[in-house]
Structure 1
Amino acid sequence: MKIFGLIGYPLGHSFSSDLFTKKWATENISGCRYELMPLQEITLLHQLIRSKPELVGFNVTIPYKIKIIPFLSALSEEAKVAGAVNTVQVIRKGAQIYLTGHNTDVAGIQITLSNLGKKPNGALIFGTGGAAAATSFVLNNMRIPFRLVSRTSGTNRMIYNEINPETIRQHHLLINCTPVGTSGFSFQPLPLPYDAIGSDHILFDLVYNPAVTSFLKEGLSRGATCVNGYQMLIAQAEETWRIWMKKQ
């Protein structure tokens, strides 16, 4: 039995187990199991891997997409540039265990934005974690100018109280890379001047559960194009499976 899984904390919102289980059933792939593996501290990673000798790959979600990097043996080029990891290969050679980190969020975000069919004049990325790092990588490749927005000040980022209606009007692509709105999480809505959103705007929420978050509801009520993270989830899962199988 080959075990695959997901680490993060908490994991109650995740669709990944159902997604991979359905894929294996549809493609008549046997001998695989996908487990949710809640990890309260990233320092417990190696202990977890040693406890599961059949584990050959796992996904990474909040809050470990950046924190996991020091625990890995190697990184793919996308993961190096993005500075975040959401997919790991587990390679065992005798008693040695090698962990290679990849970023398939990049592929998922790229496909989702490309399918929108129009290039926005600029973007605001809400959040500064691993998902925001992957999104920044994609927008740089697509040559879409963007600003990062966070609740705390830092280099090359805005804070929410600096955003006014004109800021929103100057950036037609608004991307939520935070867990705000995710089922099972308790966060206040993003503090934005939503009345500045219009029909020219695109709201992309990387959250996929629920399908319509409070962020997307604000956009829909004002005629904006709104996309959740489900298409991204499907695309990155396909890329993840390709990576895992390439090494089997």
Structure 2
Amino acid sequence: MKTYGLIGYRLGYSFSKGFFTDKFEREGLKEHEYVNFELNTISEFPSIFKKNDHIAGLNCTIPYKQEIMPYLDEVDEEATQVGAINTVKIIRSADQTKLKGFNTDIYGFENSLMPMLNKKHKKALILGTGGASKAIKHILDKNNIDYLSASIEEELFEKEIRYEQIDESLLKEHLIIIHATPLGTFPKIDNCPSVPYEHITSDHVLFDLVYNPELTLFLKKGLEKGASIKNGLEMLHLQAIKAWEIWNA
């Protein structure tokens, strides 16, 4: 039996478990399973290998995407730049087992967002400054797209603004708006970021990392203004497919 799994805290329903369980059934991979490993603290991470000596690959989600890094033997260069891990490759040899960390959110986000853009999309507004925004900023930097981040935190850092500073002139310049908070996720679907949606136009691209519901209030408001929209489901599919490639390379 090959065991793959997700490391996290209070996982409940996870996209990864559903995705890979369906994949294994569809492809007739009967000797494969996907397990949720709920950890109260990251210090419990090494113990999962003592109980499961056939782990073949792992995903990692909040709140451990950064905390897991000291437990790894090696970290991919791009994941190091972002400072977050969501995929762990298990490399076994005759005398040892090594763990290498990757961030496939980078691949998923880039390949989901970039096809939506054209030459006029030169600046982005990121709504939220949490862990999810790290991969987003990395990809925007990589593609020479300038950005600002809207924050609710007391202290503002470089390239961060208050939501109250988002006005018509700022939205005219920032034609890419990326929502990187859980706001509007089921069941609280009547919530959305505080943005002056009346200034959204058909030139805008709205990308929401939330995928449940499929059409969040944030995306609905953009759609009403003729904006191009996309939720986070394709990104999740792409990052999962990339993780599978890494585990089996």
Give the counterpart letter for 1:9 in structure 2.
Answer: Y
Name the counterpart of 1:19.
Answer: 19
CA distance in structure 2 between the aligned counterparts of 1:228 and 1:48, rounded to whole angstroms:
33
Give the equivalent residue in structure 2 for 1:112.
112
Aligned to 1:79: 79
Alpha-carbon spacing, 1:92–1:184, altered in 2? closer, same or farther (3 Å): farther
Q: TM-score, normalised by structure 2?
A: 0.88
* 2:46 match: secondary structure: helix
TM-score by length of 1: 0.88
Shift of 1:15: 2.1
Which of 153, 156, 179 matches 1:154? 156
Contact 2:57 2:90 in 1 (8 A): yes
Give 2:197's aligned residue: 194
Counterpart check, 1:4 vs 2:7: no
Task: Tell me if structure 1 keeps the 8 A contact 2:189–2:217.
Answer: no
* Number of the residue aligned with 2:128: 127
Q: Percent identity, please.
A: 40
Task: Specify the alignment match of 1:165 in structure 2.
Answer: 168
Q: Does the C-alpha gap of structure 1 residues 154 and 92 become closer, same or farther in structure 2, counting only changes over 3 Å?
A: farther
CA offsets, 1:169-217, max 9 Å, x none?
A: 2211111122222336799532222222121111111122221122212
Gaps of 5+ in 2: none
Q: What is the aligned-residue RMSD (CA, Å)? A: 2.4
Residues 141, 201 of structure 1: CA spacing in aligned structure 2 closer, same or farther, 3 A cutoff? same
Cα deviation per residue 1:46-100 (whole Å; 9 max; x = unaligned)?
2334332222211122222223223322110110112211111234567865321
Aligned partners of 2:23 and 2:136: how far apart in 1? 26
Tell me by how many angstroms 1:226 deviates: 0.8
- Against the structure 1 CA distance between its residues 195 and 67, is the aligned structure 2 distance closer, same or farther, given a 3 Å change threshold? farther
Residue in 2 that maps onto 1:141 = 142
CA distance in 2, matches of 1:168, 1:204: 15
Equivalent of 1:174, from 173, 177, 188?
177
- Larger CA deviation: 6-15 vs 136-145: 6-15
In structure 2, distance between residues paired with 1:32 and 1:88? 17
**What's the CA shift for 1:218?**
1.9
Distance of 2:12 and 2:34 partners within structure 1: 14
The one-letter code of the counterpart of 1:52 is: N
Unaligned 5+ runs, structure 1: none
Count of aligned positions = 246
Contact 1:65 1:129 in 2 (8 A): no
8 Å CA contact 1:83–1:130 kept in 2: the answer is no
CA 1:166–1:74 in structure 2 vs 1: closer, same or farther (change >3 Å)? same
Q: 1:203 aligns with which of 190, 202, 206?
A: 206
2:165 alignment partner AA: E
